[in-house]
Structures are given as structure tokens and as C-alpha cells.
């Protein structure tokens, strides 16, 4: 087991280097292209500033050389300088990355909780009105793009506001008077702003995972060991949640690795609608102004999050499923 974890951990840097190399080459061909940067940047940042920037970071050298220079600097925590603001990229990135992680993390927890309960109950009460409602609802939520769901949320909040009912704030992450609040009130304020975007991000994913869990549960509920457990006189709650669910969760846990990119991506569009200060907004504006290092930094951090998330999912899977043996 430890060896397995060590192996997976060793995989992280290899995957990271290869994926960032690929991303770097794509970005180099686009916003990082020195010719483009000069043509575009001269107006915006001034010819001298752009020239200095290109020389400072060796942007006129071959892609491979540039990449390994970038990687070498990245290893020491230096991700380059933002062309737009002049600040260190690692500084500029900190807040949006944290915000996006908060959003994706809260959504992940919510997906897990809702999908577990909905999946278990619709499997236990198969073909009941509840089950039918869930399966119809899951089709709808699978078909709703996350950003359209977000727009619908905004419309609903506005309509309620029009009638004098204020439920959630519409945009941003904090209220205007955020700085004057006590630290507890600040946390509450952020949580308040988070509810609507988290719901939007989670709901479209819940449908997928509740369906997966339901079909797994139905299979296991018909199994002999469940019948044995029932015959032993265990309460149905114990049978469902300890015996059947433990088995049904296995593919579900394996799927969390796939959930993470979906959450980061889906969250991105919701971030845009709710004006949430996360990765996507910064990334889009960085692309707009050809802020090469900021964009590269954001992409590579998201790659790192994804790879680490996948490894965590693998390790979790090994813990949950005792049948898996790792040499």
C-alpha cells in the first residue's frame, strides 16, 4: 500500500512536467508568441517595456529552452512577472486560485452528500414516485449547462428581490462593507455569497453521480450478502449504508478523479456569471492582454490541482476497496 502511494506520488512530477510542457507549447504558439507580443504589447505596454520583458525572460529563444528556463524558475517558486500589473505571478495568482479551490471544494462536498443520499434512497425505493422524480430531474440537470443554470438562478434571485424577498446576493464573493466586518462575520459573508454559485456548480454534477450510485446500489441490494445481513436482523439503515453503500461507493470514488476537472471547468463558467473572483476570470483577461506568464501560471496550477486530485482519488479508492491489491 505504501509502495503504491509512493509510486503514485512519484508519478506527479512526471505528469506535471509533460502536461505543462504541452500547455507551454500551445501557449507559446498563441499569447506567448514574441512577434504577436511585440505587435500587440507595443501599444499597451510601450515598446521598451515589451522588449525588456522579452529579453528578461528569454522569450526570443526556442520553445524548449524557454520551457526549461521557466520550469527551473518555477521550481524555486518564481513563475515570472505579470506583464499587465508588473507583480510577481505567484502573488497575483494566490487569491483567485484560493477562491476557485473554495468554490470547487465546497461543490465537491455538496455533490458527495447529495448524490449519496439521493442515490441510496432512489435505489432502495426503486420505481417509487421519488425515484421517478429523481430520474426525470437528473435528465434535466444533465442537460442544463452550468452557466445557464447560473443565469436562471440570477433571474430567480432578481425576481424575488423585486418582490421584496432577498435570499442570496447575486455577484462577487464579498459584500461592499466586507472590510468593516469582524472575522466571523467575514467568513459568514463569504459563505453567504458562495451558496448560489456552489449550488449551480454542484447540481449538474449531482445528477450524474446520483445515477451512477443508484445503479450500483440496485445491483448490490440484490446480492446475497445484503440478504444475509438482513436475515441477521440488522436494521435496514445499517444494511443500506454500511453494507451495500460501502460497495457501491467504489466506482463513485474512482469517479471523483473525473469530477475534479469537471468541477474546475464547470465552476469556471459559473464564476463568470456570478462575477466570482476565481481562476477563469483572471485567465480570460490574461489571455485578452497577452499576459503570458500569468496565463501559463494559472494553467500549470490547475494542472497540478488536477493531477494531485487524481492521485488522492486513486489512494482513496485503494482504501475503500480492500479487494484491490497493490504490489
Partner 1 sequence: MTAIALPLVQKTQSKSQWQVIWEQFKKQPQAIFALFVLLALYLAAFFAPFLTPYDRQETWVLEGVRYQAPTKVHFWGNGRLQAPFVYATTRKVDVENFETKFIEDTTQKFPIRFFASRGEPYRLFGILETRVRLISVENPARLLILGSDGTGRDIFSRVLLGAQISLTIGFVAVGISFLIGAVLGGLAGYYGGFLDSLLMRFAEVIQAIPPFFLLIALSALIPSLLPPEQYFFGVIIMLGLTSWMDLAKAIRGLVLSIRDQEFIVSARALGIPEGRIILRHILPNTSSYLVVLGSITIPGAILAETGLSFIGRGVREPGVSWGLMLADITQNGVSGLNLHPWALAPGWYILVTIVAWNVLGDGLRAAFDPKKRR
Number of residues that bind partner 1 (CB under 8 A): 49
Nearer Cβ to partner 1, position 235 or 288?
288
155 is a contact residue toward partner 1 (CB under 8 A): yes
Contact 284, 293 (CB under 8 A): no
Please select the residue that binds partner 1; options are 5, 71, 170, 318, rule is CB under 8 A. Answer: 170
Residue span binding partner 1 (CB under 8 A) among the ranges 42-50, 188-196, 298-306, 311-319? 298-306
284 is a contact residue toward partner 1 (CB under 8 A): yes
Q: How many other CB atoms are there within 10 angstroms of residue 293's CB atom?
A: 26
23 is a contact residue toward partner 1 (CB under 8 A): yes
Compute CA distances 68 → 22, 57, 58, 63, 276, whole Å.
12, 12, 11, 9, 34
Q: How far apart are CA 163 and CA 142, in angstroms?
A: 30
Residue with cell 508519478: 11
Nearer Cβ to partner 1, position 30 or 72?
30
287 is a contact residue toward partner 1 (CB under 8 A): yes
Nearer Cβ to partner 1, position 248 or 298?
298
39 is a contact residue toward partner 1 (CB under 8 A): no
101 is a contact residue toward partner 1 (CB under 8 A): no
Residue with cell 474546475: 264
Please select the residue that binds partner 1; options are 159, 172, 188, 235, rule is CB under 8 A. Answer: 159
Nearer Cβ to partner 1, position 234 or 254?
254
Cell numbers describing residue 152: 436562471
273 is a contact residue toward partner 1 (CB under 8 A): yes
DSSP 261-295: HHHHHHHHHHHHHHT--SHHHHHHHHHHTT-HHHH
302 is a contact residue toward partner 1 (CB under 8 A): yes
299 is a contact residue toward partner 1 (CB under 8 A): yes
Please select the residue that binds partner 1; options are 82, 90, 107, 280, rule is CB under 8 A. Answer: 280
Which residue(s) pair with 88 in the sheet? 81
DSSP 61-106: S-HHHHHHHHHHHHHTT---B-TTT-SBHHHHHHHHHHHHHHHHHH
Q: In 3D, which of 101, 135, 100, 113 has the Cα closest to residue 252?
A: 113
Contacts of 88 (CB under 8 A, 6+ apart): 78, 79, 81, 82
Closest separation in Å from C-beta 288 to partner 1: 9
Q: How many other CB atoms are there within 10 angstroms of residue 122's CB atom?
A: 24
Closest separation in Å from C-beta 92 to partner 1: 17
Nearer Cβ to partner 1, position 19 or 69?
19
172 is a contact residue toward partner 1 (CB under 8 A): no
Nearer Cβ to partner 1, position 265 or 277?
265
Cβ burial 21-43 (10 Å sphere, 16+ → b, else e): bebbeebbeebbbbeebbeebee
148 is a contact residue toward partner 1 (CB under 8 A): yes
Please select the residue that binds partner 1; options are 74, 89, 110, 264, rule is CB under 8 A. Answer: 264
Closest separation in Å from C-beta 297 to partner 1: 12
Cβ burial 209-221 (10 Å sphere, 16+ → b, else e): bbbbbbebbbebb
109 is a contact residue toward partner 1 (CB under 8 A): no
Residue ranges that bind partner 1, judged by CB under 8 A: 15-16, 18-19, 22-23, 26-27, 29-31, 139-140, 142-148, 151-152, 154-156, 158-159, 162, 170, 261, 264-266, 268-269, 272-273, 280, 283-284, 287, 295, 298-299, 302-303, 306-307, 310
Amino acid at each position: 500500500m505504501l509502495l503504491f502511494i509512493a509510486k503514485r506520488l512519484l508519478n506527479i512530477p512526471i505528469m506535471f512536467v509533460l502536461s505543462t510542457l504541452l500547455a507551454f507549447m500551445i501557449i507559446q504558439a498563441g499569447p506567448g508568441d514574441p512577434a504577436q507580443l511585440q505587435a500587440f504589447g507595443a501599444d499597451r505596454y510601450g515598446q521598451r517595456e515589451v522588449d525588456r520583458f522579452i529579453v528578461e525572460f528569454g522569450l526570443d529563444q526556442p520553445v524548449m529552452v524557454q520551457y526549461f528556463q521557466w520550469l527551473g524558475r518555477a521550481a524555486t517558486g518564481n513563475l515570472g512577472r505579470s506583464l499587465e500589473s508588473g507583480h510577481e505571478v505567484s502573488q497575483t495568482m494566490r487569491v483567485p486560485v484560493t477562491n476557485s479551490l473554495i468554490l470547487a471544494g465546497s461543490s465537491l462536498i455538496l455533490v458527495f452528500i447529495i448524490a449519496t443520499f439521493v442515490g441510496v434512497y432512489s435505489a432502495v425505493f426503486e420505481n417509487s414516485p421519488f425515484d421517478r422524480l429523481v430520474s426525470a430531474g437528473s435528465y434535466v440537470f444533465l442537460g442544463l449547462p452550468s452557466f445557464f443554470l447560473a443565469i436562471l438562478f440570477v433571474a430567480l434571485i432578481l425576481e424575488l428581490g423585486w418582490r421584496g424577498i432577498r435570499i442570496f446576493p447575486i455577484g462577487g464573493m464579498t459584500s461592499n462593507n466586507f472590510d468593516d466586518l469582524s472575522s466571523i462575520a467575514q467568513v459568514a459573508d463569504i459563505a453567504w455569497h458562495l451558496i448560489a454559485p456552489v449550488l449551480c456548480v454542484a447540481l449538474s454534477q449531482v445528477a450524474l453521480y446520483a445515477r451512477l450510485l443508484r445503479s450500483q446500489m440496485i445491483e448490490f441490494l440484490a446480492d446475497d450478502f445484503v440478504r444475509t445481513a438482513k436475515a441477521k436482523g440488522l436494521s435496514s439503515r445499517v444494511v443500506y449504508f454500511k453494507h451495500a453503500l460501502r460497495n457501491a461507493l467504489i466506482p463513485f470514488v474512482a469517479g471523483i478523479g473525473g469530477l475534479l476537472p469537471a468541477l474546475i471547468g464547470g465552476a469556471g463558467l459559473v464564476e463568470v456569471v456570478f462575477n466570482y473572483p476565481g481562476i477563469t476570470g483572471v485567465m480570460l483577461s490574461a489571455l485578452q492582454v497577452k499576459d503570458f506568464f500569468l496565463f501559463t501560471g494559472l494553467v500549470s496550477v490547475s494542472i497540478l490541482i488536477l493531477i494531485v486530485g487524481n492521485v488522492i482519488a486513486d489512494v482513496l479508492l485503494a482504501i475503500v476497496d480492500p479487494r484491490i491489491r497493490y504490489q
